[in-house]
Structure 1
Amino acid sequence: MLKRLQLLIPPPVWLLLSVGLAYLLATFSQGGFVPVMPSWLVNLQWPLVILASLIAVMSVWGFAKKHTTINPHHPERSKHLVINGLYRYSRNPMYLSLLLLLIAWCLHLQAWLSLLSCIMFIGIINQLQIKPEEKALKQHFSEQYLQYCRKVRRWL
Protein backbone atom coordinates (compact mmCIF):
# COMPACT_ATOMS: atom_id res chain seq x y z
CA MET A 1 0.00 0.00 0.00
CA LEU A 2 2.71 2.51 1.00
CA LYS A 3 4.74 1.59 -2.07
CA ARG A 4 1.85 2.67 -4.31
CA LEU A 5 1.63 6.05 -2.57
CA GLN A 6 5.31 6.85 -3.08
CA LEU A 7 5.75 9.99 -5.20
CA LEU A 8 2.01 9.90 -6.00
CA ILE A 9 0.60 12.71 -3.86
CA PRO A 10 2.38 16.08 -4.12
CA PRO A 11 3.94 17.38 -0.88
CA PRO A 12 1.68 20.50 -0.81
CA VAL A 13 -1.33 18.15 -0.68
CA TRP A 14 0.22 16.35 2.29
CA LEU A 15 0.69 19.78 3.86
CA LEU A 16 -2.99 20.62 3.39
CA LEU A 17 -4.04 17.29 4.88
CA SER A 18 -1.73 17.96 7.83
CA VAL A 19 -3.23 21.45 8.24
CA GLY A 20 -6.67 19.84 8.45
CA LEU A 21 -5.46 17.29 10.97
CA ALA A 22 -3.89 20.06 13.07
CA TYR A 23 -7.21 21.89 13.07
CA LEU A 24 -9.08 18.76 14.15
CA LEU A 25 -6.57 18.09 16.92
CA ALA A 26 -6.81 21.72 18.08
CA THR A 27 -10.60 21.49 18.15
CA PHE A 28 -10.40 18.24 20.09
CA SER A 29 -8.02 19.75 22.66
CA GLN A 30 -10.25 22.74 23.41
CA GLY A 31 -11.86 20.80 26.25
CA GLY A 32 -9.38 22.44 28.61
CA PHE A 33 -7.32 19.35 29.42
CA VAL A 34 -4.22 20.59 27.62
CA PRO A 35 -2.57 23.89 28.62
CA VAL A 36 -2.66 26.75 26.11
CA MET A 37 0.55 27.76 24.38
CA PRO A 38 2.27 30.82 25.87
CA SER A 39 1.84 34.04 23.88
CA TRP A 40 5.59 34.41 23.22
CA LEU A 41 5.50 31.08 21.39
CA VAL A 42 2.35 31.94 19.46
CA ASN A 43 3.99 35.21 18.40
CA LEU A 44 6.60 33.21 16.47
CA GLN A 45 4.01 32.23 13.85
CA TRP A 46 4.63 35.19 11.52
CA PRO A 47 8.43 35.04 11.67
CA LEU A 48 8.11 31.32 10.80
CA VAL A 49 5.86 32.12 7.83
CA ILE A 50 8.39 34.67 6.57
CA LEU A 51 11.30 32.25 7.11
CA ALA A 52 9.41 29.44 5.35
CA SER A 53 8.64 31.72 2.42
CA LEU A 54 12.26 32.80 2.08
CA ILE A 55 13.46 29.20 2.24
CA ALA A 56 10.92 28.15 -0.40
CA VAL A 57 11.85 30.95 -2.80
CA MET A 58 15.59 30.41 -2.34
CA SER A 59 15.18 26.63 -2.80
CA VAL A 60 13.22 26.95 -6.03
CA TRP A 61 15.67 29.60 -7.24
CA GLY A 62 18.53 27.14 -6.66
CA PHE A 63 16.84 24.63 -8.96
CA ALA A 64 16.00 27.30 -11.54
CA LYS A 65 19.64 28.45 -11.71
CA LYS A 66 20.70 24.87 -12.49
CA HIS A 67 17.86 24.43 -15.03
CA THR A 68 16.66 21.26 -13.36
CA THR A 69 13.23 20.00 -12.40
CA ILE A 70 11.44 20.59 -9.11
CA ASN A 71 8.72 18.10 -10.06
CA PRO A 72 8.37 15.84 -7.01
CA HIS A 73 6.85 13.05 -9.10
CA HIS A 74 9.89 12.51 -11.32
CA PRO A 75 13.20 12.95 -9.46
CA GLU A 76 14.88 10.81 -12.10
CA ARG A 77 14.46 13.71 -14.55
CA SER A 78 16.93 15.83 -12.59
CA LYS A 79 19.64 17.19 -14.87
CA HIS A 80 21.91 18.55 -12.15
CA LEU A 81 22.49 17.86 -8.49
CA VAL A 82 21.84 21.07 -6.55
CA ILE A 83 24.28 21.20 -3.64
CA ASN A 84 24.94 24.90 -3.10
CA GLY A 85 22.95 27.69 -1.47
CA LEU A 86 20.53 26.34 1.11
CA TYR A 87 21.31 22.83 -0.12
CA ARG A 88 24.64 23.05 1.74
CA TYR A 89 22.65 22.84 4.99
CA SER A 90 19.62 20.73 4.10
CA ARG A 91 19.03 18.20 1.35
CA ASN A 92 15.33 19.11 1.44
CA PRO A 93 14.81 22.81 2.14
CA MET A 94 11.56 22.86 0.14
CA TYR A 95 10.03 20.27 2.47
CA LEU A 96 11.53 22.09 5.43
CA SER A 97 9.68 25.23 4.33
CA LEU A 98 6.41 23.28 4.24
CA LEU A 99 7.08 21.97 7.74
CA LEU A 100 7.75 25.49 9.02
CA LEU A 101 4.42 26.63 7.55
CA LEU A 102 2.68 23.78 9.33
CA ILE A 103 4.37 24.67 12.62
CA ALA A 104 3.27 28.30 12.14
CA TRP A 105 -0.30 27.07 11.60
CA CYS A 106 -0.12 25.01 14.79
CA LEU A 107 1.11 28.07 16.68
CA HIS A 108 -1.80 30.06 15.24
CA LEU A 109 -4.18 27.38 16.55
CA GLN A 110 -2.55 27.70 19.98
CA ALA A 111 -2.98 24.00 20.70
CA TRP A 112 -0.12 21.76 21.74
CA LEU A 113 -1.96 18.71 20.44
CA SER A 114 -1.98 20.15 16.91
CA LEU A 115 1.81 19.70 16.80
CA LEU A 116 1.21 15.97 16.37
CA SER A 117 0.33 16.80 12.77
CA CYS A 118 3.96 17.93 12.28
CA ILE A 119 5.24 14.53 13.37
CA MET A 120 2.82 12.86 10.95
CA PHE A 121 3.91 15.21 8.14
CA ILE A 122 7.60 14.45 8.70
CA GLY A 123 6.93 10.70 8.70
CA ILE A 124 4.84 10.80 5.54
CA ILE A 125 7.24 13.06 3.63
CA ASN A 126 10.21 10.92 4.70
CA GLN A 127 8.58 7.65 3.63
CA LEU A 128 6.54 8.62 0.60
CA GLN A 129 8.59 11.43 -0.91
CA ILE A 130 12.16 11.80 0.34
CA LYS A 131 13.24 8.15 0.41
CA PRO A 132 12.01 7.43 -3.15
CA GLU A 133 13.66 10.66 -4.32
CA GLU A 134 16.91 9.67 -2.64
CA LYS A 135 16.80 6.27 -4.32
CA ALA A 136 16.30 7.86 -7.74
CA LEU A 137 19.02 10.46 -7.16
CA LYS A 138 21.42 7.77 -5.94
CA GLN A 139 20.85 5.81 -9.15
CA HIS A 140 21.14 8.91 -11.32
CA PHE A 141 24.09 10.69 -9.70
CA SER A 142 25.74 7.70 -7.92
CA GLU A 143 28.90 8.58 -5.94
CA GLN A 144 28.43 12.34 -6.22
CA TYR A 145 25.04 12.04 -4.49
CA LEU A 146 26.37 9.64 -1.86
CA GLN A 147 29.16 12.09 -0.98
CA TYR A 148 26.60 14.86 -0.72
CA CYS A 149 24.44 12.72 1.61
CA ARG A 150 27.44 12.12 3.87
CA LYS A 151 28.01 15.88 4.20
CA VAL A 152 24.45 17.25 4.42
CA ARG A 153 21.59 16.08 6.61
CA ARG A 154 18.15 15.22 5.28
CA TRP A 155 16.22 18.00 7.05
CA LEU A 156 18.66 20.20 8.97
Structure 2
Amino acid sequence: MLKRLELLVPPPLWLLLCVAIAYGLAQLSTQWSWLILPLGLVKLQWPLVFLAAFIAVTSLIGFARKHTTINPHHPERSKHLVVEGLYRYSRNPMYLSLLLLLTAWCLHLQAGLSLLSCVVFVLLINRLQIKPEEKLLTQQFDGQYLQYCRNVRRWL
Protein backbone atom coordinates (compact mmCIF):
# COMPACT_ATOMS: atom_id res chain seq x y z
CA MET A 1 0.00 0.00 0.00
CA LEU A 2 2.81 2.44 0.80
CA LYS A 3 4.24 1.94 -2.68
CA ARG A 4 1.06 3.43 -4.15
CA LEU A 5 1.51 6.56 -2.03
CA GLU A 6 5.04 7.25 -3.26
CA LEU A 7 5.22 10.70 -4.89
CA LEU A 8 1.41 10.85 -4.83
CA VAL A 9 0.62 13.20 -1.95
CA PRO A 10 2.17 16.69 -2.05
CA PRO A 11 4.57 17.25 0.87
CA PRO A 12 2.52 20.23 2.18
CA LEU A 13 -0.43 17.84 2.61
CA TRP A 14 1.77 15.50 4.66
CA LEU A 15 2.64 18.57 6.71
CA LEU A 16 -1.06 19.37 7.26
CA LEU A 17 -1.71 15.78 8.33
CA CYS A 18 1.10 16.06 10.87
CA VAL A 19 -0.20 19.45 12.04
CA ALA A 20 -3.50 17.70 12.82
CA ILE A 21 -1.67 14.84 14.55
CA ALA A 22 0.26 17.38 16.63
CA TYR A 23 -2.97 19.09 17.63
CA GLY A 24 -4.54 15.78 18.64
CA LEU A 25 -1.47 14.83 20.68
CA ALA A 26 -1.53 18.27 22.31
CA GLN A 27 -5.11 17.67 23.39
CA LEU A 28 -4.01 14.41 25.01
CA SER A 29 -1.11 16.21 26.67
CA THR A 30 -3.38 18.59 28.56
CA GLN A 31 -4.17 15.75 30.96
CA TRP A 32 -0.51 15.47 31.98
CA SER A 33 0.97 18.79 33.07
CA TRP A 34 4.50 17.35 33.06
CA LEU A 35 4.26 17.17 29.24
CA ILE A 36 3.88 20.95 28.91
CA LEU A 37 6.93 22.49 27.25
CA PRO A 38 8.94 25.09 29.16
CA LEU A 39 8.30 28.70 28.15
CA GLY A 40 11.92 29.10 27.01
CA LEU A 41 11.35 26.53 24.27
CA VAL A 42 8.01 28.02 23.28
CA LYS A 43 9.72 31.35 22.56
CA LEU A 44 11.65 29.65 19.75
CA GLN A 45 8.53 29.22 17.62
CA TRP A 46 8.86 32.51 15.72
CA PRO A 47 12.59 32.23 15.03
CA LEU A 48 11.84 28.74 13.63
CA VAL A 49 9.09 30.15 11.38
CA PHE A 50 11.45 32.81 10.02
CA LEU A 51 14.24 30.28 9.55
CA ALA A 52 11.84 27.96 7.71
CA ALA A 53 10.74 30.80 5.43
CA PHE A 54 14.35 31.76 4.72
CA ILE A 55 15.28 28.17 3.88
CA ALA A 56 12.23 27.70 1.64
CA VAL A 57 12.75 30.93 -0.31
CA THR A 58 16.49 30.38 -0.67
CA SER A 59 15.88 26.81 -1.88
CA LEU A 60 13.34 27.95 -4.45
CA ILE A 61 15.75 30.59 -5.73
CA GLY A 62 18.38 27.86 -6.19
CA PHE A 63 16.00 25.90 -8.42
CA ALA A 64 14.95 29.01 -10.34
CA ARG A 65 18.58 29.87 -11.09
CA LYS A 66 19.10 26.42 -12.59
CA HIS A 67 15.81 26.62 -14.53
CA THR A 68 14.71 23.25 -13.21
CA THR A 69 11.50 21.93 -11.67
CA ILE A 70 10.59 22.05 -8.01
CA ASN A 71 7.62 19.75 -8.58
CA PRO A 72 8.12 16.91 -6.07
CA HIS A 73 5.79 14.65 -8.05
CA HIS A 74 8.01 14.63 -11.12
CA PRO A 75 11.69 14.60 -10.13
CA GLU A 76 12.39 12.97 -13.50
CA ARG A 77 11.69 16.37 -15.09
CA SER A 78 14.74 17.83 -13.38
CA LYS A 79 17.09 19.28 -15.96
CA HIS A 80 19.92 20.14 -13.61
CA LEU A 81 21.13 18.93 -10.27
CA VAL A 82 21.06 21.77 -7.72
CA VAL A 83 24.08 21.44 -5.43
CA GLU A 84 24.84 25.08 -4.61
CA GLY A 85 23.62 27.33 -1.81
CA LEU A 86 21.80 25.49 0.96
CA TYR A 87 22.03 22.32 -1.11
CA ARG A 88 25.70 22.12 -0.09
CA TYR A 89 24.50 21.30 3.44
CA SER A 90 21.22 19.47 2.92
CA ARG A 91 19.86 17.47 0.01
CA ASN A 92 16.32 18.41 1.08
CA PRO A 93 16.19 21.92 2.50
CA MET A 94 12.59 22.43 1.36
CA TYR A 95 11.46 19.43 3.40
CA LEU A 96 13.63 20.69 6.25
CA SER A 97 11.73 24.00 6.12
CA LEU A 98 8.43 22.10 6.43
CA LEU A 99 9.80 20.19 9.42
CA LEU A 100 10.83 23.47 11.05
CA LEU A 101 7.31 24.85 10.53
CA LEU A 102 5.83 21.74 12.13
CA THR A 103 8.24 22.06 15.04
CA ALA A 104 7.22 25.71 15.48
CA TRP A 105 3.57 24.61 15.54
CA CYS A 106 4.36 22.03 18.22
CA LEU A 107 6.10 24.70 20.29
CA HIS A 108 3.07 26.95 19.87
CA LEU A 109 0.89 24.12 21.20
CA GLN A 110 3.23 23.89 24.23
CA ALA A 111 2.76 20.13 24.34
CA GLY A 112 5.78 17.87 24.42
CA LEU A 113 3.76 14.94 23.13
CA SER A 114 2.94 16.89 19.96
CA LEU A 115 6.62 16.69 18.97
CA LEU A 116 5.98 13.05 18.03
CA SER A 117 4.27 14.43 14.93
CA CYS A 118 7.71 15.62 13.77
CA VAL A 119 8.94 12.03 13.87
CA VAL A 120 5.87 10.95 11.88
CA PHE A 121 6.56 13.68 9.32
CA VAL A 122 10.21 12.65 8.86
CA LEU A 123 9.23 8.99 8.47
CA LEU A 124 6.50 9.80 5.93
CA ILE A 125 8.63 12.18 3.87
CA ASN A 126 11.65 9.86 3.91
CA ARG A 127 9.64 6.83 2.80
CA LEU A 128 7.06 8.34 0.45
CA GLN A 129 8.87 11.32 -1.02
CA ILE A 130 12.63 11.42 -0.57
CA LYS A 131 13.54 7.80 -1.29
CA PRO A 132 11.48 7.64 -4.51
CA GLU A 133 12.96 11.00 -5.57
CA GLU A 134 16.46 9.74 -4.87
CA LYS A 135 15.83 6.63 -6.95
CA LEU A 136 14.71 8.71 -9.93
CA LEU A 137 17.53 11.25 -9.53
CA THR A 138 20.06 8.41 -9.38
CA GLN A 139 18.71 7.07 -12.66
CA GLN A 140 18.75 10.50 -14.25
CA PHE A 141 22.04 11.92 -12.97
CA ASP A 142 23.80 8.64 -12.15
CA GLY A 143 27.33 9.14 -10.81
CA GLN A 144 26.93 12.87 -10.28
CA TYR A 145 23.98 12.38 -7.93
CA LEU A 146 25.59 9.46 -6.10
CA GLN A 147 28.70 11.57 -5.48
CA TYR A 148 26.48 14.38 -4.20
CA CYS A 149 24.74 11.94 -1.83
CA ARG A 150 28.10 10.81 -0.47
CA ASN A 151 29.06 14.41 0.30
CA VAL A 152 25.76 15.88 1.54
CA ARG A 153 23.39 14.54 4.17
CA ARG A 154 19.72 13.92 3.49
CA TRP A 155 18.40 16.39 6.10
CA LEU A 156 21.28 18.20 7.80
How would you bin the TM-score normalised by the shorter chain?
over 0.9
SS of the equivalent of 1:70 reads coil
Shift of 1:35: 3.0
Task: Decide whether the 8 Å contact of 2:29 with 2:35 is kept in 1.
Answer: no
Rounded to whole Å, the distance in 2 between the matches of 1:34 and 1:118 is: 20
Alignment of 1:1-156 (within 5 A): 1-156=1-156
- Deviations 1:51-104, CA, capped at 9 Å, x for gaps: 000000000110000000000100000000000000000000000000000000
Matched residues, percent identical?
Answer: 72
SS of the equivalent of 1:120 reads helix
Rounded to whole Å, the distance in 2 between the matches of 1:96 and 1:71 is: 16
Residue identity matched to 1:71: N
TM score, norm. by length of structure 2: 0.99
Rounded to whole Å, the distance in 2 between the matches of 1:46 and 1:70 is: 26
Rounded to whole Å, the distance in 2 between the matches of 1:14 and 1:115 is: 15
- Deviations 1:7-40, CA, capped at 9 Å, x for gaps: 0000000000000000000001101253311111
Task: Decide whether the 8 Å contact of 2:22 with 2:115 is kept in 1.
Answer: yes
Residue identity matched to 2:7: L
SS of the equivalent of 1:57 reads helix
Rounded to whole Å, the distance in 1 between the matches of 2:117 and 2:35 is: 18
Rounded to whole Å, the distance in 2 between the matches of 1:8 and 1:98 is: 17
The root-mean-square deviation of aligned C-alpha atoms, in Å, is 0.6
TM score, norm. by length of structure 1: 0.99
Residue identity matched to 1:154: R
Residue identity matched to 1:129: Q
Task: Decide whether the 8 Å contact of 2:25 with 2:113 is kept in 1.
Answer: yes
The aligned length equals 156
Residue identity matched to 1:64: A
Rounded to whole Å, the distance in 2 between the matches of 1:72 and 1:92 is: 11
SS of the equivalent of 1:31 reads coil
Residue identity matched to 2:46: W
Task: Decide whether the 8 Å contact of 2:35 with 2:113 is kept in 1.
Answer: no
